[in-house]
Structures are given as structure tokens and as C-alpha cells.
Amino acid sequence: MRLKDKSTGAGAPCSSGLNIAKEAQGEIIVALAGNPNVGKSTVFNALTGMRQHTGNWPGKTVTNARGRYRHKDKDYVLVDLPGTYSLMSNSAEEETACDFLCFGAPDVTVVVADATCLERNLNLVLQTLEITGSVVVCVNLMDEAKKKGIGINLKLLSDILGVPVVGCCARSGKGLSDLADAVADIAGGRIRTTPLRPIYTKEIEYAVSLLQPPTEKAGTAGVSGRRTALRLPKDDTGVNLTERIVTRLLDICERIAGQVITYDKDDYSARDRKIDKVLTSKISGIPVMIMLLCAVFWITITGANVPSGLLAKGLFRLEEYLGELFNMLSAPKWLSGPVVEGMFRTLIWVISVMLPPMAIFFPLFTLLEDSGYLPRVAFNLDKFFKKACAHGKQSLTMCMGFGCNAVGVVGCRIIDSPRERLIAVITNSFIPCNGRFPALIAIITMFIAGRNAGPLGSLMSALVLAAVIVIGVAATFLASKILSKTILKGTASSFNLELPPYRRPQIGRVIVRSIFDKTFFVLRRAAVVAAPAGLIIWALANIRAGEVSLLESCAVFLDPFARLMGMDGYILLAFILGFPANELVIPIILMGYTAGGALTSAQNLSGLRSLLAANGWNWLTAVCVMLFSLMHWPCGTTCLTVYKETKSLKWTAAAFIVPTAAGTVLCLIVAGAFRLLGLS
């Protein structure tokens, strides 16, 4: 393994980029460790007031966040480590966490444990105690445990472990000040801990007694020589020894759990099992999944109609005023053109079309995420991924792709096998992101579902959108399979995934927070990307080389090929120019069509529809644009992220070519077939 030698070799420098330099004297570094999905990020957010993304599924935090908080006149730096089950294994995130605990020299380590599953969590607590005694155990989710009739004797647990144990409920903030107090007491030396040190079998203790003196001599400050000695016999000859250590730890955990946990109900998870029966059974599992997807889309489309219209109306009125203002000031055409028709119109488009669906879709999606449903999706779909020789956790990275493909690509770190991780990275853009999703909705509303604006029309739109997503998912399976049989040959590795208990999402807070977040996100993107791009594209559309504008001559050049794909030159050009951000595709198309001021702006979807229809769009064009939007090169940010994650131009090229090839071929086939049949 990559980091093994460094992380076991005493005195090795921290090699994982987790070095947190103390920026000011007197700052106290606190590491936040714990099993995946125990609410570390929630604790982190609650203490620091930051807004790390949280969700009820394991592996969500793949990068290390750091934040600051102040407690009783002292400054603390909090480092959120990736979730790990153990510190003895070899997966990348475990190495990261372990390296930081050993060599990042945190002053205090908080191990967050899940009260509803304490026994399994204790394993990591014991392993951490082998490294350092400056530990506070934070038993999170006490409210969930109480609901399930699980009682935990925190005082007894603290006595057994020899370190402070704080019960808390990070979502509501309960217990957090006690946690901060306990951290402060340890950092200030006001509490002396007597950490539980498990006694192993005679052979192990003998081996450790031999290894401990030399490792202590060469040791790093803060890491016990005993711990280093325990971790040394890790190569193949020592597997048995490590395993005996782990088994012994598991026994101890079981014993402690037996002492401190009481169950009021015989079957404390009966409710979860009932829900699972509906959400994962043979008969209802997949249909319920598709119905949920459709329901989310339906609510999104129906709900977005009204605010979208209002926003467009308001913003276009603003455009008129702006135009008049420029007139009044008798601003020259070269100024008012780019500002009003270039920047402002692009802004309007991006905001009025993107904002409402995003502000509705993401809160809904976050509710599903917080409830614990996403791991069940991975569970339901795993068989397909296995058939495609890919990893079941790929469904989680695909779900992240809905938000942003770049985020999805980073999220692929939760997949251990490098081959399967690459497959997930390369195929991630088959899931329409934030920037493409609203455009799909707009096109569906205009051309497929008809202008029937009633609930029936939105239902139709939702079904079509769900079908488009299903095509994207099917393309993902197919592409994964083809990759597994060609350039990424191999068989599926083993899959294991924790299915967390269902939690009732904090509906009000989720909705408010994610509407706020998404609004901010869309507006920021609009300002940073869409407005400048609008300026450039306006220039391209209006600067003339001879008779025609640059935009037009490029479009004319692309036109023959684009026609074969069921589109036209402007559309294909828009996809190419939309490389920096997918939100721009539709505004560019519009600017191409309306260049030269021949047409007034389309102020709502039906106006837009007539504009597009006047430029030769029919339903086949719409279908091909949607398919190509679903499957073409990932945006610039995503490509850059793929390069950062894979460190390879070859795989970045693959992530570019695979969806592009799929989309091109599919559009050629669809357009060709329908023309042959004379249907369009």
C-alpha cells in the first residue's frame, strides 16, 4: 500500500497533506474521528458554524474539512477526518485519518460514536486510545437511541474507557457545550485520562514488549511506542497477529457494550425493518424507487412553473428599464448591446430557468438524502452494477452527480478499487447536473409535454424527465460494462455498504437551508460565469468578419454535421461554447438565433417555443438536444476535477470521449432512424 511504510515507520513525516500548521500560538488542534455516518460533519458544523455538506449515508466526507471555533476565550482548529471503521486497515481514507492522528499531533481527539450502534463504534474508540490518551468520546444521536429504547450508561462507559464521554445530539445542538468543555479540560490539562489499554494474549504482549523500546526511542511525540509496536507486524507474515489483535478488540467491545447498553424494547429496529420491506423488497423496491423519482420531478416541474414565469417577467421588465436608461443616457450601441443583450439577457435566462427548479429539486433531494434512502438505492441497484463489473457505491456518486458532476467525481473516492473508481469517474457525466437539468425541464415542457400547463402536463413532463434520467442510468451501466471489458478489464470487487437507520429529516431546516444554498449557488454562478460568458458570446455574435458574424460562420461550418445529429449548427456550437458551464447552452442558442436584433427577447416559455420553432425546431430536434445534453463532454470544471483525481491525461480524455461518443452515436441513430421512417 502506498502510505503503509510511511505511516507505520516511526517518525515519518505526515504524508497525506493533512498537516495543519498552527497559525497562531495557543491555538488548539482538535481532530474529529469516527465511523462513517455517525454525524461527524454535523458535529463539525454545529461547533464551527460552518456548512459542510451532511447526509445520512456513509462515505459522504471524502476530503478533510477544517474549521475554527472559539470556546471560553480559547481558539480551536477542528479537523474533520474521513469516516473510518478502523485504523488498522489499508483503505485510502483510513490511512488519511490514521496519519493525522499519529503525525498531525492533534492536542485532543474527539471520537464521535453512534449511540444506536455503539458496540461497533467502540472498536475505533479502543484503537484511538492505543494511539493517544487525549481523547473525548462523543456519543452522538442520543435522541435516536432514546426513540429506539436504547439506553447508554455514559458514566460507566467513561469509567471503563478512562476518558470523558459526552452524550449529545448534534443536530439539535444538545450536549455540544459539554463536548467543548470536555475538550477544553483535556487541552488545558485539567482532566487526567487513564485510557483503557487492552491486554492481548501472551504472544502478542511478548512481541510488543520486544518491539516497544526501539519504537519508543525512534518514536514521534504523542504516539505511544506501544501503538507503533502493535501496528508493526502488518505484513503477510504478521496477518495472524493483527487479526488476533482485532478479534481481541472486538471481544472487549462486546463486553463493554454488554455492560453499558440497555434495551427497553426487544426489537428496537422494527420500524426500520418495516420501511425496508417496502423500499427494498423484490416486488416494490424498484417500482417505489422510480415512483419517488417521478414524484420529485413532478413537484419540481409543477412548483417551478409559477416562480419561473414571475422571475422572467420581472427580470425582462428590468431589462426594458435598463434599455431605456441606456437610451436616456444616449449610450452608444457598442455599450448597450453587450451589457443589455449580452450580459443581462444571459443572466435572466440562467436565473429564471435555473433557479426555481434547483430551489425545489434540491431540498427534496436533501430530504431523501437525510432520511437514509440513498444507501438503499445503492442496495437495490447493486446487481446491475455487479453485472457491469462496477461497484455498487457508484449509485451514490451518481446521485452526487445530480448536484454537480465535479462533486460526483470527487465523491468517487468512496470506491476503494482503483479500476471501479475510474469507471465511476468516467461515467459520472451521464447524470445530468445542476446546469443541464433545468434546461432539460424547459425543453420537455416546450416540445414534448405540449403547452398543457396544468397538472397533467407536468405529470407528462415528469415522466419524460424520469425517462431521460433512466436513459442516462442505462448508458452508465452500458458504458461501465464496455469499459470493464476493454480498457479497464477486471471483475467486480466485493461490495459492502452500511445501511444506516432511517432518520426523520429536519424538514423545515433542510428546506430553508437548501433553498438558501441553491439560490446562492445559482446566483453566484450566474454572476461569475454566465454574465462574462454572455459578454463574450454577444461579441462573437455581433463582431462581423465580412458579411457574417464569427458565431454565424462557425455555426455554418458545423451545420452539416449537426443536421445529421438532428440538431443545427448553432446548437452544436452552443454545446461547444458551453464547455465552461453547461448553463450557457440555451442562452447561446438564443443569442445565435436573435443576433442582429432581428427578434425581441422571448419572455416566457411559449414565446421561447415560438422563437425556437421559427428556427426550425421540432420535437425531433428537442429529443436530440436532450440526448446530447445528457451525453456530451463534461464541463470544464469537471474535466479539471477528473484530471486532479486521476492525475492522468489519458483518463481525463476517456472521461471526455466516452460520453461524447455515446451522445454523438445515439443522436445520429435517432435522427437517422426517424428521417428514414419519415416521422419528422
Partner 1 sequence: MNIEKIPLSSLPIGKKAKVTDLLSDGQLRRRMLDLGVAGGTEIEPLFKSPSGDPVAYLVRGAVIALRSDASDKILVAAE
> How far apart are CB 202 and partner 1 at their closest, in Å?
19
Instruction: Give the residue with the Cβ less far from partner 1, 263 or 561.
Output: 263
Angle between helices 394-403 and 373-387 (to 10 degrees): 120
| Closer residue to partner 1 in complex, CB, 499/668 | 499
The least distance separating partner 1 from the CB of residue 412, rounded to whole angstroms, comes to 18
d(CA 280, CA 381): 10
In terms of CB distance, is 282 or 647 closer to partner 1?
A: 282
- Residue ranges binding partner 1 (CB under 8 A): 85-86, 88-91, 116-120, 123, 243, 246-247, 250-251, 253-254, 257, 269, 272-273, 276-277, 280-282, 285-286, 375, 379-380, 382-383, 386, 392, 416, 492, 494-501
DSSP 169: B
Helices (H), 49-117: 92-103
The helix or strand, by DSSP H or E, that contains position 344, with its residue range, turns out to be none
d(CA 539, CA 489): 47
Question: CB-wise, 116 or 646, nearer to partner 1?
Answer: 116
Residues in Cβ contact with 430 at an 8 Å cutoff, skipping those fewer than 6 apart:
398, 401, 472, 473, 475, 476, 479, 630, 631, 659, 662
Residues 6+ apart with CB under 8 A from 679: 620
Nearest approach in angstroms of CB 501 to partner 1 is 8
How far, in whole angstroms, is CA 505 from its chain's centroid? 18
Q: Shortest gap between Cβ of 83 and partner 1 (angstroms)?
A: 11
Residue 238: how many other CB atoms lie within 10 Å: 14
Which triple of cell numbers denotes residue 359?
430551489
Nearest approach, Cβ of residue 127 and partner 1 (Å): 10
Of 120 and 513, which has the nearer Cβ to partner 1? 120
Residue (363 or 501) nearer to partner 1, CB: 501
Question: Least separation, in Å, of the C-beta of 146 and partner 1?
Answer: 15
Q: Which helix (H) or strand (E) holds 332?
A: none
Return the DSSP state at 167.
E
Between 75 and 498, whose beta carbon lies closer to partner 1?
A: 498
Q: In whole angstroms, how close is the CB of 378 to partner 1 at the nearest point?
A: 8
Q: Which is nearer to partner 1, 125 or 558 (CB)?
A: 125
Backbone angles phi, psi at 591, to 5 degrees: -65, -35
Closest approach of partner 1 to the CB of residue 480, in Å: 16
**Sign of the dihedral through C-alpha 413, 416, 419, 423:** negative
Q: Is the Cβ of residue 5 or residue 254 nearer to partner 1 in the bound state?
A: 254
Lookup result for grid cell 422572467: 312
Please identify which residue in the block is written with the cell numbers 460514536: 113
Length of the chain: 680
CB 57 within 8 A of CB 372: yes
Residue 401 beta carbon to partner 1: minimum distance, rounded to whole angstroms:
22
Give the separation between CA 320 and CA 313, rounded to whole angstroms: 11
